[in-house]
Amino acid sequence: MPKETHTYLFKKNYIFLPSCKKLCITGSSNTLGNFKKNKPIFFVNNEVEINFGNNEFPIEYKVAIYDTKEKIIEEYEQGYNRILEKPSDTNSDNFVNLFPIFEHYKNKAAGINVPIFSLKTNNSWGCGDFVDLKYLIDFANNAGFKIIQLLPINDTTATFTDKDSYPYSAISSFALNPIYLNVQFVANEFLYSINCNQKNEIFELNRNVICDYSAVLALKISTLKKIFSKNKYDILANKDFSNFCNSNMYWLKPYAVFCFLRDKYKTVEFLKWKSFSIYNELQIDTLLNSNSEIFEGISFWFFVQFQLHNQLQNSLNYAKHKSILFKADLPIGVGRWSADTWQNPTLFNMQMQAGAPPDAFSNSGQNWEFPTYNIPKMEADSYSWFINRMQHLQKYFDALRIDHVLGLFRIWSIPINEIEGTMGKFVPAIAIDKEMILQSEINFDEDRFCNPFITESFLIEKFGLDFSNVKKIFFNDNKIKNEFNCQKNIELYFKFNTNNKQWKQGLFDVLSNVLLFKDDDGYHCRINACNTNSFLNLPLSDKIKFEKLYNFYFFEMQNSLWEVEGEKKLKMLKNSNSMLLCAEDLGMVPDFTEKLLTKLNILSLQITQMPKKANSNFSDPANAIYESVVMPATHDMAPIRLWWEQDRNLSQLFFNTILQLQGQAPYFCEPWVCKKIVNIHLQSPAMLSIFLLQDLLAINGEFRRQNPFEERINDPADNNHIWNYKMHLTIEELISNNIFISEIKEMILKSNR
């Protein structure tokens, strides 16, 4: 029988009001008073439970502020109305976490940003885990922080090497990473004794100055397999375990079988899995028969995910008791070889690669190698995969960073046979047609504009004394040979011919020396085309006309299309959950971005060392809008001290302008300078001020690392993607230093966060 009513529990966060004001909910249904200003539903002790009838859905609603003296709603939260869809009959109670933003009541908070793998406690196994989060929660609570921001925590185990440390290439958008499981707790639960050899290995891994990712993962998986093998019958009979599996089977089944087949065939490239290369639900179900010989190998991954869920949930419940919120990270893509692409191949463009155009991180752009989303297919399915992903995250987290939000407006798409980001284009994008080119009065020749422009002088510039040898192998006259007509083929050549690898980048540059890319719709400007040798060799009149066309194509022609696309997808994300959404809107930012994010109640990101305004050296936190997150740096950037030392002219300018200090800037970013930088971010008007843990430690001469080069988490220009930064001291040491904690707490209190 369908349920006649549905119960929703609404909880509010970080809204502190005068005694004569009350927070309330009002909406389009009878239960919510039909938006009447004198008939709202009030919060009591930060929450309110409401029963809705079946016939009331869908419901539009808003959080509002009620004046108890005037007995009327005086202000509604900013942004669009929220939408409450009718839940499925299988759901019982529903939880909604609210982060309303008001014009006249602006509360602020400070937070810590740290990868879980970087955490270190006295009892860690060489890598931070979900249980270690409790120590971090205690530190945050003692120091006055209200938010902890994490990197993605999904399973990335594709190769069992250190390359799996890259947290943005998941093999499942739902499964948690086994490396974050506290295996000691699992061993204690099942009375499993860790032997002396294992204890010695644990001690050495924890003592290691970096996170030895592959070694930690191997130790944890091997220990867990022994525990499971000894206790499998009791585990499989456990009611809580069965309930977890049943409620998560929609993602757990393909993920667990994916892991089993990955290990069986020694690869995640599912096209090499023989009869399992194409996902077949009926075939997969036969593997899950408890009488199957391989059922134990599959159910092991059920067990690991069950334990991960319990440990994460336990730590997050602990955080709620301490009034600490957790902020997750939603990657822009999924791993090319993943349970998601195996199960749902039509939702992804497997012949394309997502990335980013050239920016402050990389002169040649970035290629993340993720397949791009097949948006028309996802839209036809009402974005159900995306919505399931968001609602799964909401089970654990209060807030969410949307990685590369610009990719939801238009994604930088690189053909599968190319390597560098310079070979990509935005999708969707309106193509330039031949008529537009002719109207621009450019002397257009398709071969000249769309194929690599190659001259002997250009080849000599690229290859110097090796010019003759390079030309003999790779070129026919001034045309590149067909077998080397893409970057992947050149890469493959040097895989077997390692003596002359120094030629590779020059050949990449030759292939990318074009002005336009042609597709079925027309022509698309090559990014940074006006910096190419091809452009420099145009007649002056064509240079002027082409540059005008280039600027129109990238900065005017596409804006309406991209704004519509972005708003549509962001509304979908917004309406699918109640987390506080924060956009990572860095890079080639369209003019409409900040306005659109504010309209949708999504916080934008402001990074001091990466200004969004043209011709600016810095983004001043004092000028941030309230609906934003300010940070000195992100995990992709140099932390404060390293950034300070990389460019003396820039740090001097920052010292005199942003810090407003006179005279010569210190050569090293001394503790008092770091403290000043942290303070200007805390004093910002922005709703959230979040700091890398390294940047907080930098204010203390005793705690901070000696070498700032060891503090970097990731360099996006490095395609190896080895993420191994680890704290050099334990969280227990941080907690025990009352002077350090008091110093931070005083700064936060003075900033009213």
Question: For residue 89, what pLDDT is reported?
Answer: 55
Residues of the chain with CATH 2.60.40.10: 5-105
126 Ramachandran zone, left/alpha/beta (phi>0; psi -120 to 50): left
Residues of the chain scoring pLDDT < 50: 90-91
Q: In 3-state terms, what secondary structure has residue 110?
A: strand
Question: For residue 93, what pLDDT is reported?
Answer: 56
Paired sense of beta strands 522-525 and 516-519, if any:
antiparallel
CA distances from 339 to 84, 173, 174, 416, 610 (A): 30, 8, 10, 20, 35
| Degrees to nearest 5, angle at CA 348 with 347 and 350 | 145
Q: Which of 373, 378, 392, 282 is nearest to 334 (CA)?
A: 373
Assigned CATH topology for domain 110-343: TIM Barrel (3.20.20)
DSSP code at position 44: B
Whether omega for the bond prior to residue 58 falls within 30 degrees of 0, making it cis, is yes
Q: Which residues contact 560 (CB under 8 A, 6 or more apart)?
A: none
| Degrees to nearest 5, angle at CA 52 with 50 and 58 | 120
Identify the sign of the CA torsion 669, 671, 674, 676. negative
User: What architecture is domain 5-105?
Assistant: Sandwich (2.60)
Partners of residue 26 on adjacent β-strands: 62
pLDDT digits (tens, 9 = 90+) for 515-554: 999 999 999 999 999 999 999 999 999 999 999 999 999 9
* Count of C-beta atoms within a 10 Å radius of residue 493: 17
Q: Quote the crossing angle between the two packed helices 213-237 and 239-265, to the nearest 10°.
A: 130
* Count of C-beta atoms within a 10 Å radius of residue 240: 9
CA dist 536 and 546 (Å) reads 11
Question: For residue 2, what pLDDT is reported?
Answer: 59
DSSP code at position 362: -
pLDDT digits (tens, 9 = 90+) for 638-651: 999 999 999 999 99
Residues of the chain with CATH 3.20.20.80: 110-343
CA dist 179 and 49 (Å) reads 37
| Degrees to nearest 5, angle at CA 317 with 313 and 321 | 170
Specify whether the CB–CB gap between 134 and 94 falls below 8 A: no
Question: For residue 88, what pLDDT is reported?
Answer: 67
Provide DSSP, 671-721.
Answer: HHHHHHHHHHHHTSSSSEEEEEHHHHHTT-TTTS-S-GGGG----TT-TT-
- Which residue matches tokens 């749902």? 344
Specify whether the CB–CB gap between 525 and 516 falls below 8 A: yes
Question: For residue 323, what pLDDT is reported?
Answer: 87
The secondary element (H helix, E strand) that includes residue 480 is strand 479-480
Partners of residue 413 on adjacent β-strands: 354, 425
